Amino acid sequence: MQLLRNLFNSVLHQLLHVAFYSVHTATDVCDRLSGLWIFHQ
């Protein structure tokens, strides 16, 4: 069961990492788009 728990923790860690990276990237893209939008006003 220890192996299964380690595998689960590893997968969970990866998912959290990917989710955090996705949110960070989305925020960066939104900032750039809003910056361009303001620039073109």
Q: Is the pTM of this model over 0.85?
A: no
More confident residue, 2 or 41: 2
pLDDT value of position 41: 67
Terminal CA-CA length for the chain: 60
Q: Establish how many alpha carbons lie within 13 A of residue 19's alpha carbon, considering only the half-sphere containing its beta carbon.
A: 6
Indicate the average pLDDT of the chain.
93
Report the C-alpha gap between 9 and 1 in whole angstroms. 12
Residues 9-26 have pLDDT tens digits of: 999 999 999 999 999 999
For residue 40, what is the DSSP state?
T
